[in-house]
Structure 1
Amino acid sequence: MRYVHALGWALAVVLLAACTRGDGGATTPTPADPAVVHTVSGALRGVVADDHRLFAGIPYAAPPVGPLRWRPPAPAPEWNGERQATRSGPRCLQDPASDPEFGRQTDEDCLTLNVWTPPASSEKRPVMVWIHGGAFVSGNAGMYDARWLAARGDIVVVTVNYRLGTVGFLAHPALGAPGDVGNYGLADQQAALRWVRDNIADFGGDPQKVTVAGESAGGMSVCDHLVAPGSVGLFRAAIIQSGPCQTQAALPVAEQRSLDYAADAGCPDPVTAAACLRALPADKLRKPVWFVGIGANDLTGPVTGTAALPVDPVSAFADGKAARVPVLIGTNRDEFTLFVALSYLQRGDRYLPEEYPGLLADTFGANAAQVGARYPVDRYGSVALAYAAAVTDGEFACIADRIAADLAGRSPVYAYEFNDRQAPAPEPLRTLPFPVGASHSLELRYLFDVGGAPPLSPEQQTLSDQMIDYWSAFVTSGVPSASDAPDWPEFGDGSYLSLQPDGSRVTTGFAEEHGCAFWSGLRN
């Protein structure tokens, strides 16, 4: 869907950023100094607070620079003495224009992660590995302050940087063996999961109880790990938040666009392109997506038909070829209003009635007229809200519903809808002529301290506590549960948990409310 990509999911995450239980499992001795942890690469000194510990900026792979640019991640170098682990490492290379608050702090040498733990003890806690969103072109591990999940949820949380944009996903055929190009950012995530397997016990984590989780592009990454050969055995459960996993690029398309990109960057000769591209200054690679009108995920993002990702995940789910692990999956009630809002704020789009057919044609192609009839402007009160509703249903809600149904026959699946339509939002989103509601990424501040918005109300804080309990219970046992909250049933016949500050509730009307039969008919 070109319009979604051109808006740049990175901007959504950046705008917002500016913005319980152990299970009696294996134990290890309580460390003498809880601020010091020994890994296979060397000793780390982190930060100890009353209710959590943080070890930040930990290298999990070698710097992917020079001859290691566009190659699989190499092992992290060892160090002598204690390495300070009190601040997040540099954010991976990205375009400052799409990342205004943090753009000055990006670097190719960025393959680090942060570990948040409960207070040190002899008990091994379950682990959640968090993959950030940002359209595969922006975002970073340091945005996600996970102390609430560590303290209240009593789990270890690992947040991961990975290569982005052109540096992470260029699929030029000269960069590797046939079919073994692109997906360097995905390989970074796998290297981080292997690091967790090999080191997390030293932080009080249980390497046998790892859940891989992510939102937006991070959720799409989780879909990939469910089918990627290199991810087998690295996790035992998965969480997919607002990840429309159908937007993967096929290898032939990605290769041609990468050839075009290289030529535009001054490396047109396929014979010498690899050396030429690796010799380019990093600053020439900061703008990976705005090339001859190509949208964000058209050029940068996971590439299917490759050794790393042989099949499209959604097709693999339908064919029963996904890892058979418990899955927690969900979307937000008003996902796409955020992107409409960003277009309004960034480009001044006013969404006039006469523009509606063109918007639908650009997004839905030959199905535009049917979509327009299903989502008339007069039903929603404005073009902005009608268009947002159509894309929310067609590209988020019903994709997630399809994934849940495909996975549910083989593994436990728990589905949710985040439905707080008064969720706190950054100031720019509160000055629009239409409400953003429960939009894309607004659920994140109920799990992480991401800042940049008004505080939660008492009712919203209760919902936040419940969500932390549900998520951490799922990480702990593969079953989400929370005290003083509804039991969360398996997806089964289409059951969802609607997460609301006035009382969460189980519903079976999700597919009907979002018109999923209509969208399924269009795809067929």
Structure 2
Amino acid sequence: MNADCSGSEREANWRTKARRGAFRAVLVSAVMAAVFSAVTACGDEKDQQPTDAAVVQTRSGPVRGTVTADERAFSGIPYAAPPVGELRWKPPAAPAVWSAERDATKPGAECLQPEDAGRLTGSEDCLFLNVWTPSGAADRKRPVLVWIHGGAFTTGSGSLYNPARLVRTGDMVVVTINYRLGALGFLGHPAVAHEDGQVGNFGLLDQQAALRWVRDNIAAFGGDPAKVTIAGESAGAMSVCDHLVSPASDRLFHGAILQSGPCEMQTDRQTAVAKSEEYSATIGCPDADAAAVARCLRAVPAEQVAATPLHFTGEAGVGLPSPSYGQPLLPDDPMVAFRDGKAAKVPVLIGVNRDEYTYFVAGQTITAQQYPDLLKMFGPQADAVTAQYPLDRYAQPELAWSAVMTDHVFACPIADNTKSLTRTGPVYAYEFADPDAAPLPGLPSPPPFPLGAAHGFELPYLFDLDRTPSPATSAQQALSDKMIRYWSAFVHTGDPNANGLPHWPRHTGDQSLVLHPDTATTTNIHETHHCALWTQIPTP
């Protein structure tokens, strides 16, 4: 039944119908219900929001999440079509549309990846994201943090990171995403090149598709699409480096957070193609005409592809499937682009952990006799490295080697990026330095030596992670609270400073804020990590 929004007309119609007798009472009730609906439709857009806070209408269809007193959570929302069959090794396609409410109370599958003891977990059908909002978040638009997980581009998922504390304390919307990993995410074989001739980087394309989904849908969850910060740790931070210089990511975000990102570990297109062609042969798809290789690659069982993930670039014997530059999606090496002032003009929060490399050495044994042999990888500079990191300065050879690689692979390249990014926007730098941070799962317990502030150890100070203890002491809990408030202020304003927090100076020289349970100070990363030496030695 149609009705206009004229109150006098509605009232006249109702009185006329009412006089027709009691036997028309049911019809009168129906008319009144229709009139009430029409009045509602003529109200403000705010009044049209569904009364059920657990249901949100996305552009693809309605989703039903979980509501608590503090937050709403919507999990396993597809942001792209399943990249399977003919869509394997193709840019992400639009997701299907649905009309019935979709269950969004549990995460979608993580992307196919190796697990312990050579087992595999996950699925090719994995392009899902999760949205967390404060309770009642649709009443006004809040800033948005999009989290890109780490894991060397071979492991991880968005659902591993519970952002409840960031959501509650920071009064923000948080989105965590999956993206294709390993060979499925980064194979650069020309036989499965994109339509415009680009190769590989399917995982980065997935991330951009997720950012477009946020742009188009996040307002329905109470998020502000004009105030989106992208953030990541390790490979996630490397991804943020790429988005800072990718033309296709332009205007999809308005701030960036990079935690422990070795962004020098990207590769060029030529290397990606060569390594991908070698890899193709190892899984039974040797050189032939492009169409035949493409058919072969798409027919290989997913388990066989994921069991031997492609490694593009390596250092010190450790490789990972890096994104590749030198093509339209990623025209330049991000490190070079930063130095040339080609990064997106957005505020940046960037940092390093004081003892990054202990995470990678914790399962190894290095003897005093082996240490000089390891340093030979630096060629003519080996003596200079030995002089700067003498074995007798450290309690164990493993700690000496960790100090070398922390500075060489993490601290000094990140210091370089920090300085370069000041050319295009405000930068706030930190060093996470809790010497007693709890180890992440998968490391020896107890550890063979003090791990300090190792790679990834800052994550529990921001997120609730499965099987990972939260900060234990009152000082650590206070540091966690400060970090969440700093990160939240940055997402809101592009500046981490807020009332009641120690001042975080903008990075204009070499000073970085030290995040330590017992002190509030700054440090010169370039000096404390011997970067004058490492600027003379290229990263392997």
Q: TM-score, normalised by structure 2?
A: 0.86
Is the contact made by 2:311 and 2:321 (CA closer than 8 Å) also made in structure 1?
A: no
Which letter maps to 1:90? A
Distance change >3 Å, CA 141–CA 293, structure 1 → 2: closer
Deviation at 1:370, TM superposition (A): 2.4
Partner of 2:425: 411
Q: Residues 298 and 523 from structure 1, CA distance in 2 versus in 1: closer, same or farther, beyond 3 angstroms?
A: closer
2:55 to 7, 12, 36: 36
Paired amino acid for 1:94: Q
d(CA) in 1 for partners of 2:312, 2:131? 40
Which residue in 1 is equivalent to 2:305? 285
Is contact 1:28–1:204 with CA below 8 Å preserved after alignment?
no
Quick check: 2:514–2:523 contact (8 Å CA) kept in 1?
no
2:110–2:157 Cα contact (<8 Å) kept: yes
The one-letter amino acid paired with 1:412 is: P
- Paired residues in the alignment total 487
Distance of aligned partners of 1:365 and 1:189 in 2 relative to their CA distance in 1, 3 Å threshold:
farther
| 1:89-104 equivalences in 2 (<5 Å) | 89-97=108-116, 103-104=120-121
Displacement of 1:299 in angstroms is 5.9
Mapped partners of 1:113, 1:191: distance in 2: 11
2:237 matches 1:222 = no
| Aligned-residue offset at 1:383 | 1.1
Q: Secondary structure at the match of 2:384?
A: helix
Matched-pair contact (CA < 8 Å) for 1:466–1:482: no
Cα deviation for residue 213 of structure 1 reads 0.4
Selected match of 2:457 from 434, 439, 442: 442
1:14 corresponds to: none
Q: C-alpha offsets along residues 374-426 of structure 1, whole Å, 9 cap, x if unaligned? A: 11111112210011001111111111111111111331000000010111124
Q: Does 2:75 correspond to 1:56?
A: yes
Amino acid of the structure 1 residue aligned with 2:381: N
Q: Tell me whether 1:512 sits opposite 2:527 in the alignment.
A: yes
CA shift in 2, pair 1:422/1:299, >3 Å: closer
The whole-number CA distance in structure 1 between the counterparts of 2:381 and 2:432 is: 28
- Structure 1 residues 494, 98: CA separation in 2 closer, same or farther (over 3 Å shift)? farther
Indicate the structure (1 or 2) with the bigger Cα radius of gyration. Answer: 2
Work out whether residues 45 and 85 of structure 1, in 8 Å CA contact, stay in contact via their aligned partners in 2: yes
Cross-structure match for 2:325: 304
1:44-103 CA distances to partner (integer Å, 9 max, x unpaired)?
000001111100000000000001000100001111210000111100011234787xx4
Match of 2:148 among 131, 145, 153: 131
User: Hey, what's the Cα distance between the residues in 2 that align with 1:88 and 1:286?
Assistant: 21
By how many angstroms is 1:291 displaced? 7.5
Tell me if the contact between 2:312 and 2:320 (Cα under 8 Å) persists in the aligned partners: no
CA RMSD of aligned residues (A): 2.1
| Cα drift, residue 28 of structure 1 | 4.9
Kept after mapping to 2: 8 A contact 1:116/1:156: yes
Mapping of 1:174-213 within 5 angstroms? Answer: 174-176=191-193, 179-213=197-231
Shift of residue 289, structure 1, vs aligned partner: 3.3
- Counterpart residue type for residue 511 of structure 1: H
**Closer/same/farther in 2, CA of residues 299 and 496 from structure 1, 3 Å limit:** closer
Q: 1:274-317, CA deviations, whole angstroms, 9 ceiling, x for partnerless residues?
A: 11001111111112337799789856220111221111000000
In structure 1, list runs of 5 or more residues that go unmatched: 1-26
Deviations, residues 7-55 of structure 1 (Å, cap 9, x unaligned): xxxxxxxxxxxxxxxxxxxx95564111000000000000001111100
CA deviation digits over 1:345-397, x for unaligned, max 9? xxxx31011111232334x4553332222111111122100110011111111
- TM-superposed CA distance for 1:517, in Å, is 1.3
Residue number among 359, 379, 383 corresponding to 1:369 in the alignment: 383
Distance 1:419-1:141 versus aligned 2 partners, 3 A rule: same
SS state of the match for residue 116, structure 1?
A: strand
Q: Following superposition of structure 1 onto structure 2, how do residues 460-471 of structure 1 map, counting pairs within 5 Å?
A: 460-471=476-487
CA contact (8 A) 2:74 2:105 kept: yes
Match of 1:160 among 174, 177, 182: 177
After TM superposition, give the deviation of residue 455 of structure 1 in Å: 3.9
Percent identical: 52
Runs of at least 4 residues of structure 1 off by over 4 A? 27-31, 290-299, 426-430
Larger deviation, residues 165-174 vs 247-256: 247-256
Letter in 2 for 1:497: L
Instruction: Output the amino acid matched with 1:226.
Output: L
Contact 1:170 1:181 in 2 (8 A): yes
Letter paired with 1:182: G
Partner of 1:394: 408
Distance in 2 (CA, whole Å) between partners of 1:139 and 1:340 is: 20
Aligned with 2:369: secondary structure?
helix
Matched, 1:352 2:367: yes
241, 249, 255: which is aligned to 1:237? 255
Q: Is the 8 A contact 1:174 1:270 kept in 2?
A: no
Aligned match for 1:480, one of 488, 496, 502:
496
Range moving further from structure 2, 404-413 or 186-195: 404-413
Q: Is the 8 A contact 1:288 1:300 kept in 2?
A: no
Give the letter for the 2:175 counterpart. Answer: V
* Aligned match of 2:98: 79
Greater RCO (Cα-Cα under 8 Å, separation 6 or more): 1
DSSP 3-state at the match of 1:226: helix
Check conservation: 2:357, 2:402, Cα contact below 8 A: yes
Q: Are the aligned partners of 1:132 and 1:218 in contact in 2 as well (CA < 8 Å)?
A: yes
Cα contact 1:28–1:124 (8 A) shared by 2: no
* 1:323-342 alpha-carbon deviations (Å, 9 max, x no partner): 0100000010100000001x
- Mapped contact 1:114–1:141 kept (Cα < 8 A): yes
Matched AA of 1:117: T
**2:132 & 2:311 partners in 1: Cα distance?**
38
Range 252-261 or range 297-306, more displaced: 297-306
* In 2: Cα distance, 1:293 partner to 1:483 partner: 44
Q: 2 CA distance for matches of 1:45 and 1:366?
A: 61
CA contact 1:213–1:222 (8 Å) conserved in 2: yes
TM-score by length of 1: 0.89
Indicate whether 1:172 and 2:189 are aligned. yes
Distance 2:123 2:482 in 1: 37
- Residues of 2 paired with 1:508 and 1:34: CA distance? 46
| Structure 2 residue corresponding to 1:384, chosen from 398, 414, 417 | 398
Code of the aligned partner of 2:533: F
Partners of 1:501 and 1:147 in 2: CA distance = 22
Q: Which moved more, 1:137-146 or 1:423-432?
A: 423-432
Output the amino acid matched with 1:350: T
- C-alpha spacing 1:499/1:378, structure 2 compared with 1 (3 Å): same
Give the equivalent residue in structure 2 for 1:113.
129
Which among 519, 527, 534 is matched to residue 503 of structure 1?
519
Structure 2 residues not aligned, in runs of 5+: 1-44
Quickly say closer, same or farther: Cα 1:455–1:224, change in 2 above 3 A: closer
Change (3 A) 1:208 1:451: same
Please state if 1:315 is matched with 2:330: no
